[in-house]
Amino acid sequence: MATQRAQDTVQTTHFRSDRISTINGRFFFTTREGTLEGPYFSRDEAERGIPRYIDRMMQSLAILDSRNAEDVFRP
Protein backbone atom coordinates (compact mmCIF):
# COMPACT_ATOMS: atom_id res chain seq x y z
CA MET A 1 0.00 0.00 0.00
CA ALA A 2 1.59 3.30 -1.06
CA THR A 3 0.56 6.17 1.19
CA GLN A 4 2.34 9.26 2.38
CA ARG A 5 1.75 11.36 5.47
CA ALA A 6 2.22 15.13 5.23
CA GLN A 7 5.41 15.01 7.32
CA ASP A 8 6.96 12.15 5.31
CA THR A 9 9.55 13.46 2.88
CA VAL A 10 10.03 10.29 0.87
CA GLN A 11 7.25 8.10 -0.45
CA THR A 12 7.53 4.54 0.86
CA THR A 13 5.40 1.43 0.82
CA HIS A 14 3.63 0.60 4.09
CA PHE A 15 2.34 -2.91 4.57
CA ARG A 16 -0.82 -3.43 6.57
CA SER A 17 -0.28 -5.58 9.62
CA ASP A 18 -2.03 -6.30 12.86
CA ARG A 19 -1.00 -3.49 15.18
CA ILE A 20 -2.42 -5.24 18.25
CA SER A 21 -0.13 -7.53 20.23
CA THR A 22 -0.36 -9.37 23.53
CA ILE A 23 2.35 -9.25 26.17
CA ASN A 24 1.86 -11.07 29.48
CA GLY A 25 -1.90 -11.21 28.93
CA ARG A 26 -2.22 -7.46 28.26
CA PHE A 27 -2.96 -5.86 24.89
CA PHE A 28 -0.89 -3.16 23.20
CA PHE A 29 -0.90 -1.44 19.83
CA THR A 30 2.10 -0.19 17.90
CA THR A 31 2.30 3.15 16.13
CA ARG A 32 4.04 4.20 12.92
CA GLU A 33 6.42 6.12 15.13
CA GLY A 34 7.49 2.83 16.71
CA THR A 35 5.91 3.29 20.15
CA LEU A 36 4.04 0.58 22.01
CA GLU A 37 0.82 1.96 23.54
CA GLY A 38 -1.00 0.25 26.39
CA PRO A 39 -1.55 -1.87 28.35
CA TYR A 40 -5.21 -2.58 27.74
CA PHE A 41 -7.21 -5.37 29.35
CA SER A 42 -8.90 -6.53 26.12
CA ARG A 43 -8.34 -6.44 22.36
CA ASP A 44 -11.50 -4.34 21.95
CA GLU A 45 -10.20 -1.79 24.45
CA ALA A 46 -6.89 -1.60 22.58
CA GLU A 47 -8.72 -1.12 19.27
CA ARG A 48 -10.77 1.71 20.81
CA GLY A 49 -7.52 3.25 22.03
CA ILE A 50 -6.14 3.68 18.52
CA PRO A 51 -8.47 6.51 17.40
CA ARG A 52 -8.06 8.17 20.82
CA TYR A 53 -4.27 8.06 20.34
CA ILE A 54 -4.61 9.59 16.86
CA ASP A 55 -6.86 12.36 18.27
CA ARG A 56 -4.28 13.14 20.98
CA MET A 57 -1.48 13.34 18.41
CA MET A 58 -3.56 15.61 16.15
CA GLN A 59 -4.38 17.87 19.12
CA SER A 60 -0.72 18.10 20.11
CA LEU A 61 0.24 19.03 16.53
CA ALA A 62 -2.45 21.72 16.50
CA ILE A 63 -1.14 23.14 19.78
CA LEU A 64 2.43 23.18 18.48
CA ASP A 65 1.30 24.82 15.23
CA SER A 66 -0.61 27.53 17.12
CA ARG A 67 2.39 28.23 19.36
CA ASN A 68 4.67 28.48 16.32
CA ALA A 69 2.19 30.89 14.70
CA GLU A 70 2.18 33.04 17.85
CA ASP A 71 5.98 33.24 17.73
CA VAL A 72 5.85 34.47 14.13
CA PHE A 73 3.50 37.34 15.00
CA ARG A 74 5.24 38.32 18.24
CA PRO A 75 7.26 41.58 17.85
Tens digit of each residue's pLDDT, the chain (75 residues): 445 566 667 766 655 568 899 999 999 999 988 999 999 999 999 999 999 999 999 999 998 888 776 665 555
Beta strand 12-13 with 20-23 is unpaired
CA dihedral 4, 8, 59, 36 (to 10 degrees): 90
CA dihedral 49, 54, 14, 17 (to 10 degrees): 0
